[in-house]
Amino acid sequence: IRLWNPKTGEPTKLLFTRYDHNVCSLSLSPDGLMLARGSHNKDIKIWEVTTGTDLMTLLGKDQYDHHWSVCVAFSPDGVHLASGSDIGKIRIWEVLPSGEEKILHNGHWEETAEDSTETRGFFIEDDGGFQKPMEFWIGAMTFTPDGKMLITGSRDNTIRFFEMPTMNEIRVVRGHNGWVRALAVSPDGKVLISAGDDSTIRFWDIATGRNFRTDKTHTGPVRGIALSPDGLRLASASWDRTVKLWEGGPEPEE
């Protein structure tokens, strides 16, 4: 994992650990002090950005947790970290200053902490709350700026909206003809932008769930999108080996 200076284009830091699988997702905490990584290595790592210090490991590798952590996302207040797995589980972690990790859900979590940076344990299934499984892999997730909703994109081509902190499903929207790989929400919380394997970038009215704009200028799957802090520029990255920059902040039509 490399950190880059956006003004110079030069690398500033290399975060290295002994990976034996792909890095799937990165999420920077809102204050810019922590970086979380999801991977095919089954665990989630969190680093301090300025020093590169390994702060904690979530979902430690053991016999009870053998599924990939495909995507991760910090909540707007930086207190919680959401993770999505290849079997459709959503886990909400409370990241505490003490280094203790907790999972918020309606089921039961058994754990034994070997030290302050790694928690091992297993889930006892539950019919609701955070333990309600999805049918397919989760490929992307993001919070709304007010932290009141968690939005996920998955392999079944759907985008799902969950109320926080109850995790009640509010809405399911469909439009993509392939795996939903990337999500971003406008700073005002009105517009959701999604991208996926069907090579499209779609714009949704969060209030109604309506897809009000679809762009298809990439010729390959779109695997990453990012909005500028002011919401006026969008960057998209595709398997067609291009990165496109988009101007203007889209608003849903009345």
Per-residue pLDDT tens digits for 7-44: 888 888 777 655 556 787 889 999 999 999 887 776 78
- 130 pLDDT tier (thresholds 50, 70, 90): very low
Helix (H) or strand (E) holding 163: strand 158-163
SS3 assignment, position 187? coil
CA distance 194 to 159: 9
Per the structure, the count of domains in the chain is 2
Rounded to whole angstroms, the Cα distance separating 20 from 30 reads 28
State which of 115, 133, 151 marks the end of a domain.
133
For residue 253, what are the domain limits? 137-254
Q: Which residue has the higher pLDDT, 15 or 120?
A: 15
State pLDDT tens for residues 153-168. 988 899 999 998 888 8
How confident is the model over 164-206, as pLDDT tens digits?
888 888 999 999 999 999 999 999 999 999 999 999 999 999 9
Q: Is pLDDT above 70 for 67?
A: no
Which of 21-25, 47-51, 141-145, 159-163 comes out lowest in average pLDDT?
Answer: 21-25
129 and 145 inside one domain: no
Residue 32: CATH number of its domain: 2.130.10.10
Residues 146 and 189 placed together within one structural domain of the fold: yes
Q: Count other C-beta atoms under 10 Å from residue 96's C-beta.
A: 11
Contact partners, residue 126, CB within 8 Å, separation at least 6: 105, 106, 107, 108, 132
